[in-house]
Amino acid sequence: MAEHAPAPRSPARDDASSLRVVDVCKHFVAPDGSDVHALEACSLTVAAGEMVALVGPSGCGKSTLLRLLTGLDRPTSGELWAGSERIEGPSAERGLVFQDPNLFPWLTVRKNIQSGLVARGVLREKRHEVDAFLRLVGLEPFADAYPHQLSGGMAQRVALARALVNHPRVLLLDEPLGALDAFTRMRMQDEVLRLWRARGTTMLLVTHDIDEAIYMCDRIVLMTPRPGRIERVIDVTLDRPRQRNSADFLALRAEILEELHFAGQAGTDAATGPQAGEPRTPEELARQLSLGAGPDAEAP
Amino acid sequence: MPTLDMPLRTMAHNPAQLPATPPARATAAPPPARAGRFAPAAFAPSAAAAVAWAVHYWVPSHQTDKPTHIYPKFLLIVLVAGVVLGLTQRLWRRVKPTAWNFPLAFASNLLHWAVASAPVLAAGVLLLCAWDLVTLKLALVPLPYFPGPDAVFQTLVNDWRSAGLGQPGLAECMTSSLALLLSGYAVGSVLGIAFGLLIGWFPVARYWGVPVMKLVGPIPATALIPMALMLFRNPTLSAVWLIALAVWFPVAMLTLSGVMNVRASYLDVARTLGAGQGYLVFRVALPAALPNIFVGLFMGMGTSFLTLVVAEGVGVQAGLGWYIDWARAYSDYAKVYAALIIMAAYFSTIMTLLFRVRDHVLVWQKGVIKW
Amino acid sequence: MALTQGAIMPRTFTPIRLAALLAAALALPLLTSCDRDAGPGAAAGSNGLTKIRVGYIGLTCEAPIFTAVEKGFFKEEGLDVELVRCQWATYKDALALGRFDVTHHLVMYFLKPIEQGLDVKFTGGIHRGCLRVQAAAKGDILTVKDLKGKTIGVPGLGTPPFMFATRVMAANGVDPSRDVKWRVYPAGELGLALDRGLVDAVADSEPIGSLLLADGKVRNVADQAKDAPYKDEYCCAVLVNGKFYEKNPRATAAATRALLKAAKWVNTNPAAAARLSVEKKYIASNVNMNAVAISNLDYAPSIAGAEKAVTQSAYDMKEAGMLAPQTDLSALAAKAFVHLDGVTDEWLNGLQVEKLADGQLPPGEDIRQYAQLLLAPGQKNCCIGRK
């Protein structure tokens, strides 16, 4: 049964839910004094209601780009736009979920979730929504638990609910499932998809897990390091729900691996020569990207 | 279109399959009541009291030939009470106090504690006996600096209403000192937390505030007496000011450290939730800094006691410090020890209360980090 | 300073530890109260002189101690003196616990402690009068009877000024426990308390009394040096550590004689004594002020006078309720005062001291003239230091 895409919405709202990155550079000085080019000349457009993944090995600048989009950092040059407004600072319109759930340890689950409402001063009007969110993430019996009593997956669900309570137009997720075990991760991927379908929020997902990117996203942005840049944007046209072992899935996966490998290699040869630990083959790259023993052997 | 209410599928399909850890209320209920074994250890305080009484009665006194009578009476009371406690020990259980059974619950809990702590109480009584031997009986240490427990007990009784010459007695000194201590502590803590928050949050405030803190903080209270007299006409206010200053320094210092150590990611998350400056300071930085703030509050409690004796030398009419100064002028050390014992009892009680407050406020801390 | 969240603090502040800490805090001044703690005294030195440690605080009225050292009176008596400088707050404890062996100090300071068991003894009277009750110069308190219903500042309950004030009040029909309010302030801040109106009158000892008079802030309501019957009573007497006396009665007698002779010398040559005290840096004061202060004290040494002071003070204190009701006064006096060999009034009467030509105060000088001198602009005075 094919799940349908989110219903179309009014143009005004569309506008505010879209993101634009225009020629953004980010440099900073490392502790040892050297200049680090985290991002170089990145440009990207994310349409309203899209689910987009930023994929790449460590050091490619994906987390930096995400942070610039939340507004917690400013670019060295270039512009970032959320709809028709420039991104100048953090806002409740752009929610954020970290790899570490970062729940406020002094608040219960319920109070963590409603902290966005308290921060904006709208608790009295919107208090009833908190129960809906608790139900949504399946944590109603734990509403009065403290974060230290929760498992990793539960905590991450609370973090998601907390990020969504303000009905943000855009949700930015920085490796949200990286700390979870494989089974929980797969369940959580389904849950995030469910949330996305239910609400139509634009989502931008940073991950180093290619399978996750292909499984969840409409488009995959491949980034490579040194300097951090956008190598290529791939449209994923597979039907939802996606099958992790289908031929198309695996072909796309191989293609992406090749792309990342060669791009990385070209960049390396051009710049500094092969480094120790650099992946030389797609299999090595796959291992680096924590894909485990992939089903490459079975790919047709 | 699926609605917002659609719940996510979790692995548990019904409540019975939810993880076993219940979201326990963080305040642990007292352990379930159960009758203890009949422990002979509950009689230990009586045995100790008997030994102490025998020593006091039969060993000849060398320090003075006129020992007083309150101390042996006290020992006899302990002996009898201890026997009664030991015989009834199985009756006393830990009961959760509620609004209507509070006196009974309090009594039961207290007696249960007494039974459980019987060995410690016995050791305390034996300590009294040792003190008696070293001072009154064998005169191993000289008068007037080391009177026996009988002198101290007698003083507690004699000086309760009046310390002589129409001056206030220990009862009034106790309430006076407590009021002074608590007001100084309250003022100092509140100002310390406010100051620490201010300089912890705003870099400009920190630039000016930290040198002030480092200069003013370590000044000993004795050096500040003239300033206290100049600032306040009312001697009670000068005394409160001296104590408040002594408390302010550690509380401000540790609030500063707590605020500066708040995890940046908490602040980032809060900002993406639409938090303004007020929320960030009072609802993120302050709660995150609370463990450190409590360390400061405990330190401040200690310093406030040490400053009490000095603070009461600026014209107050009564108080434990005032009483101690007078007693030292007379070299009447029985009075000094009596007052010190009362101060130690105060300190112990207030610290216990402070720990309880902390346990309630910091209920969210993981058990392993608790101190 | 990186105390992380949940810093570990052990529960060390148990009540026993606090009591110990407080006791140590109270005792610490004692440990640090004297400059040097040489070994036990009265060992025979290499030069045949007996070693003895003499304590002092650095007060105007300790002139006999400085004189005895500088003029060699101790040496004459066969004593090798080591001076030990101490603080007022722990002075009696320092003497009782053997930080030094002999000194002279206020009789009323020691009587109650001796009743409590302090092991020190009086051996001879040094001077009369150094305690005063004073009221604001601009106020309306003129006599002791005016003190009824007023507030009085004292350096401490149980200190000699307090005891003197109590005795004076009791003698004038004012009940010290009901008719006045007592407030404790550190001795150096009594003037400030009076200025600020926190108290109506103060009771103090030298040098505070002379300082306040020189400042023109106060008038005397009662003066131990001038008012009967106190003017014949000895305020300060020679004191010796009990154990030292038991082991070295001869050295004790020698030291007493030296100090009494010095007292007589000071009485005869007050200006010279003042010069000596200041120039040799025993006290930080102005020579002229010091001379006037010394001459106001009556340094006429006496044995009988000291014994009388002890018994009279003890009697008054018991009447005022400061001594325990069961205390036997004659036993207390016997414990407190010892008669030493060779230290008698006959010996004192026959004692000759030199009279220096420039050693006396010029006639007609009195404290008001010196107050004028001191208050004149441009006059430096290291005692007052405020002008």
Is residue A117 included in any domain, yes or no?
A: yes
Query: Which of B305-309, C225-229, C247-251, C258-262 shows the lowest mean pLDDT across its residues?
Result: C225-229
Contact call for A138 and B21, based on CB within 8 A: no
Per-residue pLDDT of C200-227, as tens digits, reads 999 998 778 888 888 888 889 998 888 8
- What is the per-residue pLDDT for B175? 93
Q: Which of A104, A154, A197 to mutate to test the interface with B (most CBs of B within 10 A)?
A: A104
Query: Which of A140-144, B305-309, C14-18, C47-51 shows the lowest mean pLDDT across its residues?
Result: C14-18
Mean pLDDT of C341-347: 82
- What is the per-residue pLDDT for B370? 54
Q: Does any CB of chain C come closer than 8 Å to the CB of residue B292?
A: yes
Q: Nearest Cα to C336, choosing from C116, C50, C97, C121?
A: C121
Q: Which of B4, B15, B23 sits opposite A198 (nearest CB)?
A: B4
Quick one: which H or E segment has residue C51?
A: strand C50-56
The pLDDT-based confidence of B300 (bands split at 50, 70, 90) is: very high
- What is the per-residue pLDDT for B19? 46
Is residue A5 included in any domain, yes or no?
A: no
The pLDDT-based confidence of C23 (bands split at 50, 70, 90) is: low
Contact call for B2 and A146, based on CB within 8 A: no
Q: Which of C18, C114, C181, C239 to mutate to test the interface with B (most CBs of B within 10 A)?
A: C18
CA distances from B268 to A62, B364, C319 (A): 18, 21, 76
Q: Nearest Cα to A20, choosing from A96, A85, A76?
A: A85
Q: Which of C2, C18, C26 sits opposite B347 (nearest CB)?
A: C18
Rounded percentage of chain B residues whose pLDDT exceeds 70 = 88
pTM for the full model?
Answer: 0.76
More confident residue, B294 or B110: B294
Contact call for A148 and B365, based on CB within 8 A: yes
Distance of CA B177 to the CA centre of its chain: 14
Q: Which residues of C touch B253 (CB under 8 A)?
A: 1
State the residue for tokens 């000085």: A29
Mean pLDDT of A97-115: 92
Mean pLDDT for all residues in chain A? 82
Contacting B residues, span 90-119, partner chain C, CB-CB under 8 Å: none
Contact call for B272 and A144, based on CB within 8 A: no
- What is the per-residue pLDDT for A289? 61
Burial class (CB in 10 A: 0-12, 13-18, 19+), B26: middle
Per-residue pLDDT of C281-310, as tens digits, reads 888 777 777 777 787 777 888 888 888 888
Q: Which of A66, A91, A115, A188 to mutate to test the interface with B (most CBs of B within 10 A)?
A: A115
State the residue for tokens 């930085």: B285
State the residue for tokens 């849950």: A191
Per-residue pLDDT of C124-179, as tens digits, reads 988 887 889 999 888 888 888 889 999 999 988 888 899 889 888 888 888 888 88
Greatest mean pLDDT among B36-45, C27-36, C86-95 lies in: C86-95
More confident residue, B4 or B187: B187
Q: What is the DSSP letter of B221?
A: G
Contact call for A144 and B25, based on CB within 8 A: yes
Q: Nearest Cα to C106, choosing from C90, C120, C85, C127?
A: C127
Contact call for A98 and B26, based on CB within 8 A: no
Q: Check residue C72 and give left, alpha or beta (phi > 0: left; psi -120 to 50: alpha).
A: left
Closest chain C C-alpha to B12 CA, distance in angstroms? 35
**What does the alpha-carbon distance between residue B144 and residue B133 come to, in Å, rounded to a whole number?**
16
Mean pLDDT for all residues in chain C? 80
The pLDDT-based confidence of B37 (bands split at 50, 70, 90) is: low
Per-residue pLDDT of B132-159, as tens digits, reads 888 888 888 887 888 888 889 988 988 8
Is residue A296 included in any domain, yes or no?
A: no
Closest chain B C-alpha to A108 CA, distance in angstroms? 8
Closest chain A C-alpha to B263 CA, distance in angstroms? 9
Per-residue pLDDT of A152-190, as tens digits, reads 888 999 999 999 898 899 999 999 888 888 888 888 888
Q: Which of B272, B281, B364 to mutate to test the interface with A (most CBs of A within 10 A)?
A: B272
**What does the alpha-carbon distance between residue C378 and residue C387 come to, in Å, rounded to a whole number?**
8
Contact call for B167 and C177, based on CB within 8 A: yes
Q: Which of C23, C25, C178 sits opposite B166 (nearest CB)?
A: C178
B327 near B335, Cβ under 8 Å?
Answer: yes
Contact call for B229 and C6, based on CB within 8 A: no
Distance of CA A115 to the CA centre of its chain: 22
Quick one: which H or E segment has residue A221?
A: strand A219-224
C294 near C60, Cβ under 8 Å?
Answer: yes
Mean pLDDT of C107-133: 89
- What is the per-residue pLDDT for C15? 64
- What is the per-residue pLDDT for B331? 86
Q: Which of A138, A145, A151 sits opposite B23 (nearest CB)?
A: A145
The pLDDT-based confidence of B263 (bands split at 50, 70, 90) is: very high
Closest chain B C-alpha to C173 CA, distance in angstroms? 15
Structure-block tokens of residue B174: 């106790």
C298 near C128, Cβ under 8 Å?
Answer: yes
**What does the alpha-carbon distance between residue A76 and residue A70 come to, in Å, rounded to a whole number?**
15
- Paired sense of beta strands C234-241 and C120-128, if any: antiparallel
Give the SS3 label for residue C157: coil
CA distances from C32 to A59, C54, C87, C283 (A): 63, 17, 9, 20
Burial class (CB in 10 A: 0-12, 13-18, 19+), B214: exposed
Structure-block tokens of residue A54: 């930023």
Per-residue pLDDT of A187-245, as tens digits, reads 888 888 988 888 889 999 998 888 999 999 999 999 888 788 888 899 998 888 888 88
CA angle B234, B240, B244 (to 5 degrees): 145
Q: Which of B273, B294, B362 to mutate to test the interface with A (most CBs of A within 10 A)?
A: B273
Is residue A119 included in any domain, yes or no?
A: yes
The pLDDT-based confidence of C363 (bands split at 50, 70, 90) is: low
- What is the per-residue pLDDT for A152? 85
Give the SS3 label for residue A203: strand
Is residue A81 included in any domain, yes or no?
A: yes
A252 near A294, Cβ under 8 Å?
Answer: no
Does the pLDDT value for residue B371 go beyond 80?
A: no
User: What DSSP string runs through C334-383?
Assistant: HHHB---TT--HHHHHT------TT-SPPTT--HHHHHHHHHSTT---TT
User: What DSSP string runs through A134-201?
Assistant: HHHTT-GGGTT--GGGS-HHHHHHHHHHHHHTT--SEEEEESTTTTS-HHHHHHHHHHHHHHHHHH--
Mean pLDDT of C64-79: 90
C166 near C335, Cβ under 8 Å?
Answer: no
- What is the per-residue pLDDT for B202? 94
- Paired sense of beta strands A35-46 and A85-86, if any: unpaired
Write down the H helix ranges in C50-178.
63-70, 73-76, 91-96, 107-116, 160-171
Give the SS3 label for residue A64: helix
Q: Which chain C residue has the Cα nearest residue B338?
A: C19
Q: Which of B11, B268, B366 sits opposite A148 (nearest CB)?
A: B366
Does the pLDDT value for residue B297 go beyond 90?
A: yes
The pLDDT-based confidence of A97 (bands split at 50, 70, 90) is: very high
Closest chain C C-alpha to B225 CA, distance in angstroms? 9
- Terminal C-alpha separation, chain C: 45
The pLDDT-based confidence of A9 (bands split at 50, 70, 90) is: very low
Is residue A269 included in any domain, yes or no?
A: yes
Contact call for B288 and C2, based on CB within 8 A: no
Q: Nearest Cα to A107, choosing from A97, A121, A119, A124?
A: A119
- Ordered domains of chain B (ranges, CATH): 38-158 (no CATH), 171-361 (1.10.3720.10)
**What does the alpha-carbon distance between residue C135 and residue C222 come to, in Å, rounded to a whole number?**
9
Q: Which of A70, A119, A194 sits opposite B8 (nearest CB)?
A: A194
Q: Which residues of B touch C164 (CB under 8 A)?
A: none
Contact call for B274 and A137, based on CB within 8 A: no
CA distances from A52 to A99, A164, A222, A264, A290 (A): 17, 18, 11, 21, 20
Closest chain B C-alpha to C252 CA, distance in angstroms? 22
More confident residue, A189 or B22: A189
Q: What is the DSSP letter of C98?
A: T
Residue A119 belongs to a domain with what CATH number? 3.40.50.300
B173 near B323, Cβ under 8 Å?
Answer: yes
Q: In B40-57, which positions are buried (b, 16+ CB within 10 angstroms) versus exposed (e)?
A: eebbbbbbbbbbbbebbe
Q: Which residues of B touch C2 (CB under 8 A)?
A: 257, 261
The boundaries of the domain holding residue A111 are 15-291
| Backbone dihedral angles phi then psi of residue B28, each to the nearest 5 degrees | -70, 135
Closest chain A C-alpha to B293 CA, distance in angstroms? 14
Structure-block tokens of residue A253: 């996966």
Rounded percentage of chain C residues whose pLDDT exceeds 70 = 81
| Strand partners for A214 | none
Give the SS3 label for residue B25: coil
Q: Which of B5, B8, B277 to mutate to test the interface with A (most CBs of A within 10 A)?
A: B8
**What does the alpha-carbon distance between residue C69 and residue B183 come to, in Å, rounded to a whole number?**
52
Q: Which residues of C touch B315 (CB under 8 A)?
A: 153, 183-185, 193, 198-199
Please tell me which chains touch B, using 3 or more CB pairs under 8 Å as the contact test: A, C
Radius of gyration of chain C (CA): 22
Mean pLDDT of A124-140: 87
**What does the alpha-carbon distance between residue C95 and residue C78 come to, in Å, rounded to a whole number?**
22
What's the domain count of chain A? 1
Does the pLDDT value for residue B4 go beyond 80?
A: no
Is residue A7 included in any domain, yes or no?
A: no
Q: Nearest Cα to A67, choosing from A98, A40, A44, A41?
A: A98
Q: Which residues of A touch B8 (CB under 8 A)?
A: 136-138, 157, 191, 194-195
The pLDDT-based confidence of B23 (bands split at 50, 70, 90) is: very low
The pLDDT-based confidence of A281 (bands split at 50, 70, 90) is: low
- What is the per-residue pLDDT for A265? 62
- What is the per-residue pLDDT for A229? 86
Contact call for B143 and C117, based on CB within 8 A: yes
Q: Which residues of B touch C182 (CB under 8 A)?
A: 167, 317
Query: Which of A152-156, B65-69, C22-26, C99-103 shows the lowest mean pLDDT across its residues?
Result: C22-26
Q: Which residues of B touch C116 (CB under 8 A)?
A: 143-144, 330-333
Closest chain B C-alpha to A142 CA, distance in angstroms? 6
Contacting B residues, span 62-91, partner chain C, CB-CB under 8 Å: 63-64, 66
Closest chain A C-alpha to B366 CA, distance in angstroms? 6
Is residue A9 included in any domain, yes or no?
A: no
**What does the alpha-carbon distance between residue C90 and residue B297 come to, in Å, rounded to a whole number?**
33
Mean pLDDT for all residues in chain B? 84
Q: Check residue C50 and give left, alpha or beta (phi > 0: left; psi -120 to 50: alpha).
A: beta
Q: Nearest Cα to C214, choosing from C360, C384, C61?
A: C384
| Backbone dihedral angles phi then psi of residue C346, each to the nearest 5 degrees | -65, -45
Q: Which residues of B touch C246 (CB under 8 A)?
A: none
CA angle C10, C16, C20 (to 5 degrees): 105
Contact call for A132 and B7, based on CB within 8 A: no
Closest chain B C-alpha to A242 CA, distance in angstroms? 18
**What does the alpha-carbon distance between residue A256 and residue B299 come to, in Å, rounded to a whole number?**
60
Q: In what order do the strands lie in the sheet with C79-85?
A: C79-85, C50-56, C102-106, C234-241, C120-128
Closest chain C C-alpha to B256 CA, distance in angstroms? 9
ipTM for the predicted complex: 0.79
